[in-house]
Chains A and B, each alone.
Chain A
Amino acid sequence: MATTTSEQVQTKRSFSSRISNEMFIVLLMFGVLVLLVVTAWIFVPGFAQVQTLVNLVTNNWYIVILGIGVTFLLITKNFDLSVGGVVALTGVLAVYFSQAANVSQNELANGLGFPYPVAVVLALLGAMSIGALNAFFVVRLKVPSIIVTLGTMMVARGIAQVITQGAQRNTSLPQVFGVIGNAAVPGTTVKYSVVIMIVLILVAFILERKTVTGRFTYYIGANSDAARLSGIKVNRHLALLFILSSLLAGITGLLLASEFKAGVSGRATGYEFDALVVSLLGGVSIAGGFGSVLGMLVGALILSTVQSAATGLLLSPDWQFTLKAVAVFLAILAQSYVLKRRKG
């Protein structure tokens, strides 16, 4: 939000009281991030390279894209646990639609033989239909989103497993299928997936701060009854957000399927929780009406830093979960402590 106050008091008040609580938390977590990076830079062997910093941004691109939808929904007090399943489903659908038809004895090598663009559009529609299902149960039938999306998480992954017979499809794919997920921006090692992430986060941030649609999200999260009585079409807005979240998960699924040239039914297991974790790390409140995708991005960077520092310290991957847990608890304790003090 804008960093303005009435003129008379502006000069007298400290910087921290002139910005909104939201941007304050984002800055706080950014401070934590800088501190972590500096510490790792000094103490972790092999960390002190520019490439490491680049990797921090690029490593978790898929969590950031998923985090956008999850953050918006969290601001409205809703969960979306289905995103991991939708990533798997969309990847599998795109591969199945693109695979050449009737070319092999092996059932998993035969697809539907659609042209690539058609396969992409249909796969994304498949993703959005999971979002529509979420919206239907939450908005129409008033079932809590945490339950609905837990269900659709399994629906999406279940369909993916049926199509891949519990494994994956990775043959008879057209050449074009592997391009978008592997190509890098000419002259760099930055993949297009990362560029897409950056574009999406910018669009999401502008949407959140500058548009009426973005503002509605906050009104609904802050008080959905008041929002309805103020003339906001709460149901329609929530439905759109659920479909948007699934669409973003679908895009992630397409990019990952392209990168590996495979539709894997077990892809993205647990990503729904990572997306939730980075949102919470970034200061998004499950009480609703509070948070920003920018904070979520910072949260994702903190998670990357912790992960790559752990790798540098030669900790076995078994420690990853424990480290994430420690990072989450510390971050959330710090946030609630600082917010309380700030509110006095």
Chain B
Amino acid sequence: MASTENVIEIRDLVKVFPGVRAVDDVSFDIKRNTVHCLVGENGAGKSTLIKILTGAYARTSGSTLLNGREYVPSDPRDARQQGVSTLYQELNVVDTLTVEDNLTLGLEDTTFGFIRKTDKINDMIRVMNSLEPSIHPKQKVSTLSVAQKQIVEIAKAAASESDVIIMDEPTAAITEGEIKRLFGIIQKLRDQNVTVIYISHRLDEIFAIGDYVTVLRDGKHIATKPLSEVDGRQELIRMMIGRTVFEGYTSKKRTVPEVVLQVRNLSNEKLQDISFDIHKGEIVGFYGLVGAGKTELARAIYGAESFKGEVLLNGQPYKSAPDKAIAAGLALVPEERRTQGLFTILTVRSNIPVMNMKDISRTGWINSARERDTALEYIDKLNIATDSPEKEAAKLSGGNQQKVVLSKCLFADADLLILDEPTRGVDVGAKSEIYNIIRQLSDEGKSIMICSSELPEIMNLCDTIHLLFDGSLKASMANGADVDSEEILHIVTGGE
């Protein structure tokens, strides 16, 4: 069985979500005992593909072979038993248990309900020792660093005879030195007949550790080739973004140089010394990878996170708290719609006025007629698909939920709207509607700050583009024909 050259073969794989083909007819092979990297922009389909391989998602169609045999895992546990383990970004270790207990968690051999100490445990400890001798089996996991916890998980996967270990952004939360050590471990695993599927946004890592690379874009397979044949990061970036033409964006003359938001030397735990201005009617984009600090920046300006530095709205300072920010003329569409933006169990009607109750009430008394009219007005204006304003927000589709959150902020009548990932989890149709609303707002003289991890979105909409990497503002540019998306990707992936 192990004679087949390819450990995994993917054929015509398709995954359709309502309105999106997240994985669109993808076929490629993963060679045995290699480190196979998977790259692509956010939304390219990497995580969906991985979730199909680990059994977290069911495919729409297509086939996958593991060691030449049909492989359709029913859930992550089944995948693990068949030989495909995953190292997730959020680690699956239990802090309160010892290393040894964590290794055997879920794999215990029992006799009449009592745990038996078997060779398996000793096996795992041996594997772990060979990977990282500094970890003691009796140590509490809570005393380990993130990198050490990763190693515990890797040891668990390696010792349970995995053919394939998938690593999803394993370096996102660990230090330079630890990354080097992780790479050493990955090489050891490869020597022990384990194939590693490695996902990272950091292209330098891909070149440092990978044997093969597969590029995905918009759910489609673009290329799979040995990294030795890839002509530097520029070629990889070109494949990732393709020849996407950013239509849509038309530069406008800024006739009003009036500054709405002034940010000077803003710093906190995640952010370093950020300064910029936003003008009246301007759409300003912040682009960066996951963890670059976009959300933290949005939340700091909105007063939801503490910071040092100076922030002025219309020349005035305001206290750092959401209610003060709203009063000063700000509104935020948060990153996580369901947990931070929407009141899912309440009706569409009662969701919309929350940021500006004054406008539907007098001396504290709600004017029900005005509340209903407001809801109907926004349902009409933003084309929210609901049969009644009394519908629970939870029952709407993602795109329509996002429009409700947007309505909420529009009703607050802010001078500056901060939109954090405004189209995440939104289908294509609703996406373009939201883009039109944003452009219209800008025409009406509103200023807009967009934080996004989708480059096309930024290049489509924004007059000014700021690039974030690791909490710092690395570059700023006016949008236009001369903006080079390769250069942008180079900067936000950590290139100098």
Chain A residues in the interface with B (C-beta under 8 A): 1-2, 4-6, 9, 20-21, 210-213, 215, 218-219, 222-223, 225-233, 287, 289-290
Contacts and interface: CB of A to CB of B under 8 A. Distances in A.
Contacts of A230: 322, 326, 354-355, 408
Contacts of B342: 223, 226
B330 to A, nearest CB: 10
B432 interface: no
B417 to A, nearest CB: 13
Given A6-B388, A212-B357, A223 B344 contact: yes
A142 to B, nearest CB: 17
A229 B390 contact: no
Given A4-B372, A226-B341, A226-B342, A231 B355 contact: yes
Contacts of B339: 223, 225-226
Given A227-B354, A228-B304, 7 more contacts: A1-B347, A1-B350, A218-B343, A218-B346, A226-B334, A289-B345, A289-B346
Contacts of A229: 302, 304, 322, 332, 334, 340-341
Contacts of B357: 212, 215
Interface stretch (B21-29, B64-72, B108-116, B360-368): B360-368
B344 A222 contact: yes
Interface in B372-395: 372, 376, 387-390, 392
In this complex, which of A1, A223, A231, A290 has the most chain B Cβ atoms within 10 angstroms of its Cβ? A231
Contacts of A226: 334, 339-343
Given A6-B376, A215-B350, A215-B357, A231 B322 contact: yes
Contacts of A9: 387-388
17 contacts: A1-B350, A5-B390, A9-B387, A20-B347, A212-B361, A212-B365, A219-B354, A223-B340, A223-B342, A223-B344, A229-B332, A230-B355, A231-B322, A231-B327, A231-B355, A232-B323, A233-B323
B353 to A, nearest CB: 9
Interface string B212-237: 00000000000000000000000000
Nearest to B367: A210
A223 B389 contact: no
A17 to B, nearest CB: 9
A215 B366 contact: yes
A21 B361 CA distance: 24
B387 A6 contact: yes
Contacts of A227: 343, 354
A232 B354 contact: yes
Contacts of B327: 231
Contacts of A211: 361, 364-366
A5 B355 CA distance: 23
Nearest to A228: B322
Contacts of B340: 223, 225-226, 229
Nearest to B386: A6
A171 B258 CA distance: 76
A215 B372 CA distance: 15
A2 B389 CA distance: 11
Contact of B346 (A2, A4, A219): A219
Contact of A223 (B343, B361, B368, B392): B343
Contacts of B341: 226, 229
In this complex, which of A1, A219, A226, A230 has the most chain B Cβ atoms within 10 angstroms of its Cβ? A230
A210 B372 contact: no
Nearest to B346: A222
B237 to A, nearest CB: 35
Nearest to B353: A215
Contacts of B361: 211-212
Given A215-B357, A218-B350, A231 B326 contact: yes
A184 to B, nearest CB: 34
A4 B366 contact: no
Contacts of A4: 372, 389-390
A2 B366 contact: no
Interface in B313-359: 322-323, 325-327, 332, 334, 339-347, 350, 354-355, 357
A218 to B, nearest CB: 6
B400 to A, nearest CB: 15
A228 B323 CA distance: 8
B364 A2 contact: no
Contact of B365 (A5, A210, A218): A210
Contacts of B372: 2, 4
In this complex, which of A210, A219, A228, A229 has the most chain B Cβ atoms within 10 angstroms of its Cβ? A229
A231 B365 contact: no
Interface in B383-433: 387-390, 392, 408, 412
A129 B36 CA distance: 64
A2 B354 contact: no
In this complex, which of A2, A9, A213 has the most chain B Cβ atoms within 10 angstroms of its Cβ? A2
Contacts of A20: 347, 390
A11 B346 CA distance: 23
B323 A290 contact: no
B390 A290 contact: no
Contacts of B350: 1, 215, 218-219
A5 B343 contact: no
Contacts of A1: 347, 350, 390
Nearest to A214: B366
Closest 3 CB pairs of A and B: A222-B343, A231-B323, A231-B326
A232 to B, nearest CB: 7
A127 B480 CA distance: 66
A8 B238 CA distance: 52
Nearest to A3: B390
Contacts of B390: 1-2, 4-5, 20
A1 B368 CA distance: 9
B313 to A, nearest CB: 15
Given A210-B366, A230-B355, A5 B345 contact: no
A6 B380 CA distance: 12
B373 to A, nearest CB: 11
Contacts of A2: 368, 372, 390
Contact of B343 (A210, A219, A287): A219
A6 B347 CA distance: 13
A21 B393 CA distance: 13
